[in-house]
Amino acid sequence: MANLKEIRTRITSVNSTRKITSAMKMVAAAKLRKAQDAITQMRPYADKLHEILDHVMSSAENFEDNAYTQERNAEKVLIIVIASNKGLCGAFNANSVKKAEELIKNEYQKLFEQGKIDIYTLGKTINETFKAKHVNVKESHSDIYNDLNFKTVSGLAEKVMKQFAAKEYDRVHIVYNKFKNAAVQIPQAEQFLPIKLSENEESFEGDYIYEPAKDQIVEQLIPYALKIQLYKAVLDSYAAEHGARMTAMHKATDNATELLKELKLTYNKARQAAITNEILEIVGGAEALNN
């Protein structure tokens, strides 16, 4: 059994850790509320925008000629992997890496072996993971989180759209964690470019007059919808990150509390054993003197 000093040192250490994890849980909870509000407000807008775009594109005459709708053989692929700049959030970052690896394995294994898969990362923590796995991380855009807003994300979206239009990439995917609630984050992999029409599109009823013409609407709406799609994915990931961190710190705090209980029980047992031994020694000494 460990001596009393060692147990007291461990109790002090665990207690300090519990205070830190408890504070981090509270900070994550405060940030989660703001991030959750942002994504819950964005989703209906993004979904409606995509619905409108689907309808206009399906009835426009020349939408297939748009630079962002052209289907090409996938000879060069870009995957944008969204994670976080910080750790201590459970399996959040690892899930993004696993989802990207799953996408590569299922659809682009040959291209990966030929070195024709590029990775853009949003989050410092996954760069080292990809490098350790010998995956080409071409660019890191972790600075987006320093000032997360539509303008900063749309800058990255514009860059990727130009690269696709210039045929630097034939396909672009986004990998991120979708926020469901504080305890559940769902890894997602969705195609960013080229744009596809929804398979389950429901026809709109009514006769609409379009001003300007449908083709002009498509030309203006597609770039904006792509920016919104990437921005929504980043907001989803940002909320999921704080949810994962809050949950992880909550579990860490609970584990520290349980460990403290065990250590205190061990300490009390050791202390009682030491007192008992001292009493026995005193009694034994007194009897020896009497004899």
Report helix, strand or coil for 265: helix
Judging by DSSP bridges, how do beta strands 137-140 and 184-193 pair with one another? unpaired
Q: Residue 89 catalytic?
A: yes
Integer Cα distance of 21 and 13 in angstroms: 12
Q: Which helix (DSSP H) or strand (DSSP E) does residue 99 occupy? A: helix 92-107
- Rounded to whole angstroms, the Cα distance separating 153 from 142 reads 11
* 8 A C-beta contact, residue 85 and residue 45: no
Which candidate in 89, 117, 156, 234 is catalytic? 89
Rg (CA), the chain: 28
> What is the Cα–Cα distance from 95 to 259, expressed in whole angstroms?
28
Phi, psi of 178 (to 5 degrees): -85, 135
**Residues known to be catalytic:** 89
